[in-house]
Structure formats: structure tokens, C-alpha cells
Amino acid sequence: MKSDFLQAYKTMLLMRLAEQEIANLYLQNKIMSFVHFYVGQEAVAVGVCDALKKDDKVLGNHRSHGHYLAKGGDLKKMICELLGKENGLAHGKGGSMHMIDKSVNFVGTTPILGSVVPLSCGSAFEQKYSKKNDVTVAFFGDGAFEEGIVYETLNLAALFKLPLLFVVENNLFAVNSKLNDRRSPNYDIEKIVTGFGVKYVRADGNDYQDVSKKAKNLVEEVRTGVPVVLECITYRHMAHSAPIFDEGYREEDVLEKRQEKDPIKKIKQVLLESGMSEKELSDVEDDIKKNVLESIKFAMDSKYPPKESLYTNLYA
Amino acid sequence: MPERIIKYTEAIKEATDQVMEIDPSVFVIGLGVSYKNGADGTTSGLKMKYADRVFDVPVSEAAFTGMAVGSAINGLRPIVHHGRVEFALFASDSIFTQAAKWNYMFGGNNNVPIVFRINVGRQWGNGPQHTQALYSLFGNVLGLKVVIPSTPKMAKGLLVSALRDKNPVVILEPRWLFQLKQDVPVEIYGEPLDKAKIMKEGKDITVVSYGDGLVSALEALSIIGDSVDVELIDVVSINPIDHETIFKSVKKTGRLLCVDTTNEAFNIGSEIISKVAQNQSIHLKNKPTSLACPNVPCPTSTALTEFYYPTKIDIANSILGLFNKPKVDKKLSFEELHLAPTLTII
Ligand SMILES: Cc1ncc(C[n+]2csc(CCOP(=O)(O)OP(=O)(O)O)c2C)c(N)n1
């Protein structure tokens, strides 16, 4: 158990430290790619992906650095993509919003809100059609959940009994719009989801233990063809699409509250209570930091794609 | 009149504000339009002034656009804002098939006075799913009036006219131009929705463009200097295209270059060149030429976008080449290549 937690802590910390460095690069104009930071939501990606097998598939949205790393992604290739380099995940064609890595069954990400949902349904459809015993996970936000295509897909997934786990990361905001501005006072996500015949579970997205415990139980059920929505309530620590802080519109998740509920602080506390020392944990942190800095250096030193690559890949 | 230099985005906001003051049936709806810096500044402050007429919405483009169309059918005048054309595509039924066809299919019984403000095209680091310049898609849909404001002055005047029109008007706003500045009249004024505009008269060659391509063409003029006398035309409307203005110019110059900042296939230049070839070929001294983006989506990496859009140097050289003049050999800086222009248009 302790080693599971340690591994989860490491992955979450890797995301956090990597994004802090990515934020620095962004502010220095070194990243000419639209970047949405995952800081604060790490427990969701890690908690869910810890419940998956390698063959299970994951799709994401515009805020998917964490989803990719949690699925076993390669930090170097990810940063190369962010920097627009040839050896990035999409050879520089995609950038931060478009990540793909079939070697870890990371199917792809798209920033068009809601679009990931029917595509994930198609992935689950293939898994069932081909009689694989695998599941697909779609990560998307509370904002995306408002697209009509999501509701249509809930029906499809239930109708076809697909092995699809919808993970709704509810960080309370769509850009700066609060839930109250976007949903009727009687909006009840549980009733909506279950009304389509899809199972609904809610987790504390700031708590790795809660997410991973629920995800582990659910994924085995999903595998039998029961689609599920797992809604994780969490906080997005940075601004919508930049590390710049605009606290003006925040009420429910003010800075102190975000810090108090920080998922990394929480899991660290669990590790300390299980007997690990501060020293051991800071050694872990140093190692990860070193890895992050090496990856960034590697990416900075990597080559840009050649001009000809502009014209390739439109068709296979 | 004293000069008053304002930004493209401010010109849009001013037009909206001035029309809202006069016409209570106008309202604004779209994602984030009520924010302090709403819709990139094009709606900032409006929520404070018109609390009940500016609506932020759920991320539900199909539904809220359809709702706006339905309200226009019933007499309101919505301004629907979509921050990127890709988001508007979720609402394509409401725009292309409902709003655009309603008056015609009901035999002229019910006009649909609605304005769709849709941001399109180029922006650094936004990649294949956020930068599509789908101008022709809208040009191809009958029943829509479609305009492209290329300067702050036009942004204000076209929006005012769109809001006075009885029909669905799509305003395709190139994001790349949001920081452009110009001396814009304070008072309310309209610009014709169906007329091309001659930006500079000349006798040697007709250059037709719109949006970011037009701004690059304007910059190309100062690179070329006096060596070629260019007539530069802002196409303004792509549905319908004002072919007469272009024909008249081509008759005079005998040469035509079209500059598009969308891919080569099925672009605005193709349409213009086709009509000129059919109607004006006896006046042509050279074959018409076109500069456009290659037929691939716009990638993300700056190493690749560097070669994607026609630059002011490309435009200058293509004009100089037609007259066998020496080409200019100048490299653009990283900022010139990848950051949106902040220049002031005269
Ligand atoms: C179809 C569509 N509409 C609008 C947008 C613009 N947009 C990008 S992210 C975002 C908010 C998304 O909120 P949510 O889905 O909750 O994800 P979060 O950013 O909070 O992680 C919006 C409105 C978009 N990308 N796609």
C-alpha cells in the first residue's frame, strides 16, 4: 500500500514540478503553444489511471499534460511537443493541446469541448466489437459536459453497453464562468446521468485516495460493459490558459482554500504518517526535479522539424 | 476632427455599445461576453452598462445559437459571438440551414435579423483545430451575408450596418488583426455590406485581399515603393463578392494578384480569378496570380508556421516579379513572423 502511495506521489509531483518549469518557459515566450495547466488536479489523472491496465485507453482535452503522464507518458517527448520540436509526440504539429502516444494507449486529445466524448465512445465501441476486455477513459471538464453531444453519447454508451468511463473533472469553472452562471439551480448531474441509464459516482478530486479507491472499483465494472460517469470535484490552481493569476473571479476556491486542499500536500501527509521521513521525501523531490530539468534541457536542445514536414501527414 | 486612435477590438465594442443605446432589441450572447475583458475586449464593460442584455452562456453552442436564431425569427436582434470558427461549427445547422434559409423557404414571410460574430484564423500556437480560416465555407452558403472587417474603421462600420440589416449577417473577424489601430470616427456610421473598397488607387496591378492578407499587402506597398503603382482592393464582402469593382480595376491595370490567408483550394482568390477569367480576359496582360497558404492545416510549431502564411515580403516579391524588377532580400524577425501586428493603419 505504502509503495502504491509513494508511486502516486511521485507521478503527481512529476506533473506539478514539470508544469512549474513549463510555466517559466511560457512566461519567457519559449513556448509558442497554447498551454492549459493541470496544477491542482493531479489526483484525478493519477487516481483514475492507477486503476487502468496498459491496454486500456485514454483520451483527453485541452488540459491533458496530467492525463498523458498518468497513463505512463514520456515527459521528454511531451515537452518537445510543447516546444514545437521534431521529436515531440506529434512532431511539433500539435503542441500542448494535441497529445498522442499509442505506445501507452494514449489515443489523443482535442481542445474542441465535448468532442472527446463521442470519440471515446468509439474507442469503447471498438473494444467491445473486437471482444477485447479493455476499457476507455475520457477526461473532460464540467464546461464540456454542457455540450449536447455529451448527452447524446451518454445514451449511446448505455444503449450499446460500452466499457466507457467518463471522468468529469469539475474544477468549478469554464474559463472564468462559474457553475451557477451556466446551470439552472435545479441542474442535477446525477439524475441526468442515471436518467440515461449510466451509473454515476462522485469523488473528491483533490484527494488521491478517494479517487483511486472509487476508480479501482468502477473500472472493473466498466470492463463488463457498464458505462460510468465519475465526477471529480477539484480545483484548478492556475488561470484558465496561462500561469498568470487572475483571482478576481474566484470565490469558492480562493488561494488559501486551494492550498489547503492541495492534493500533493495531502498525499505527502499520508506518506509521512505511514513512516516516511521528510528527508526521504525531499530526496524523492530532488530526483524528480532533476529529471524535469534534464527533460527540459533535452527538449531545448532538440531540433525543430524541417520545413518539408509542413506538407507531410495530411494523409497516411 | 482630432485624431482618435483605437484598436480593432475597441472599434467593435464601440459599435455594439452605440447600437445598443439606440435599439433595445439588440442583445449580446456568447461564451464569456460578460467578462471584464469579454470576447477579447470586444464586449468589455457592456455587461455593466446593459445588465439584462448581455448573456454569458453554458458551453452549448448548438443550443444557444439556435435560441438566438429563434429569437431573431421572432423579432429580436441578437449578436451571437463565437470565439473561434471551430466552436461555431457546433451550431452549423442553426446558422447555415435555419437562419440562412428561413426567409427564402417561407416565401419572404419572415426575415431573420441576426449577427454572427465569428473569430477566425491565425493565432500563434493555436494549431490545426483553432486556426482554420474557413472563409469560403460561409461564402458558399446562400442566404447569409458575409463580411470580413480588415481594419478598425471597417470593424465598426460593418457591425453597425449588420445590425441595421434585415438578414443574417456573418462577420468573420480575423483574430490576427485584434491589436491593429486606426483613427476611427467617434460617431455612429455604417459601411456597405456588399461593396469592395479601394484602399489605394494605382494603375499597374490590381491586388485583392482581405483580413490579415490585406494588412500584409498594405505593408508590402511600402516595401515596393514607387517602382510599381499598385491598386489595392479590400474585398470586404465574400457573400456576395463585389465583382464589378474588381472588374473595373482589372480593366485599368490588366494585372491581378489575389492574396488569401487560407489554403489555396476553394479560396476567395479562386472565385475572383475565375470570374475575372470569364469576364475580363481580353484586358489581362499577365495570367492572374494567387498567393495563399499551402493545402495543409496550420500546424503549431513556429518552425513550421514560419512558412505557412504569405508574408509582406512574399507579396512584394510576387508583384515585383511580375514586372521583372529585382526582388527584395529581407528576413523577417521572429516577432514579425509570429506575433500579431500592432501597427496603426492610416
Ligand atoms: C466547442 C468549444 N467551445 C468553446 C471553447 C472555448 N473554451 C476552451 S476551454 C473552455 C472552458 C472549458 O471548461 P471545462 O470543460 O470545465 O474544462 P477546464 O478548462 O475547466 O479544465 C472554453 C469555453 C472550446 N475550446 N470548444
3-state secondary structure of B202: coil
Burial B211-250 (b: 16+ CB within 10 A, else e): bbbbbbbbbbbebbeeebebbbbbbbbbbebbbebbbbbb
Other CB atoms within a 10 A radius of the CB of residue B326 amount to 9
DSSP symbols for B152-187: HHHHHHHHHHHHHSSS-EEEEEEGGGTT-EEE--SS
User: How do B197-200 and B230-234 pair as beta strands?
Assistant: antiparallel
Q: Given this model, what pLDDT does residue A243 score?
A: 79
CA-based nearest residue in chain B for residue A179: B58
Q: Given this model, what pLDDT does residue A1 score?
A: 61
pLDDT tens digits for range B293-317? 999 999 999 999 999 999 999 999 9
Mean pLDDT of chain A: 96
pLDDT tens digits for range A225-251? 999 999 999 999 999 988 777 777 888
pLDDT tens digits for range A197-236? 999 999 999 999 999 999 999 999 999 999 999 999 999 9
Cβ-contact A281, A6 below 8 angstroms: no
Cβ-contact B193, B162 below 8 angstroms: yes
Q: Is B81 considered catalytic here?
A: no
H/E segment holding residue B117: strand B115-120
Report ipTM (2 d.p.): 0.94
DSSP symbols for B300-344: S-HHHHTTTSPPHHHHHHHHHHHTTPPPP--PPPHHHHHS---PE
Q: Given this model, what pLDDT does residue B77 score?
A: 98
Q: How far apart are CA A72 and CA A54, in angstroms?
A: 9
- With a pLDDT cut of 70, the percent of chain B lying above it is 100
Burial A171-186 (b: 16+ CB within 10 A, else e): bbbbebbebeebeeee
Contact at CB, A112 and B129, closer than 8 angstroms: yes
Query: Is B93 in CB contact (< 8 Å) with chain A?
Result: no
Q: Is B338 considered catalytic here?
A: no
Contact at CB, B303 and A110, closer than 8 angstroms: no
Band (B193; pLDDT cuts 50, 70, 90) = very high
Residue A303 per-residue DSSP state: P
Band (B285; pLDDT cuts 50, 70, 90) = very high
Residue with CA closest to ligand 1 atom 20? A174
Q: Given this model, what pLDDT does residue A316 score?
A: 96
> Shortest Cα distance from A26 to chain B (angstroms)?
11
Q: Given this model, what pLDDT does residue B3 score?
A: 87
Cβ-contact A87, A302 below 8 angstroms: yes
Mutate to test the pocket of ligand 1, among A175, A181, A249, A253 (most ligand atoms within 8 A of CB): A175
Band (A36; pLDDT cuts 50, 70, 90) = very high
**To 5 degrees, how large is the angle CA A91–CA A92–CA A96?**
120
Pairwise pLDDT comparison (A2 vs B39), residue with the higher score: B39
Q: How far apart are CA B147 and CA B94, in angstroms?
A: 19
Contact at CB, A176 and B35, closer than 8 angstroms: yes
Q: Given this model, what pLDDT does residue B1 score?
A: 62
Across B218-234, average pLDDT:
96
Measured between alpha carbons, how far apart are the two ends of chain B, in Å? 15
pLDDT tens digits for range B316-334? 999 999 999 999 999 999 9
- Which residue blocks in chain B are alpha helix, DSSP H? 8-22, 46-49, 61-73, 85-88, 92, 100-105, 135-139, 152-164, 211-224, 243-253, 268-280, 302-305, 312-322, 334-338
pLDDT tens digits for range A120-141? 999 999 999 999 999 999 999 9
Other CB atoms within a 10 A radius of the CB of residue B166 amount to 11
Cβ-contact B7, B42 below 8 angstroms: no
Is 80 exceeded by the pLDDT of residue B135? Answer: yes
Cβ-contact A95, A79 below 8 angstroms: no
Q: Given this model, what pLDDT does residue A85 score?
A: 98
Band (B237; pLDDT cuts 50, 70, 90) = very high
The number of residues in chain A equals: 316
Q: Going by C-beta distance under 8 Å and a sequence separation of 6 or more, which residues neighbour residue B195?
A: B236, B237, B242, B245
Across B71-94, average pLDDT:
98
Residue with CA closest to ligand 1 atom 12? A174
Q: Given this model, what pLDDT does residue B151 score?
A: 98
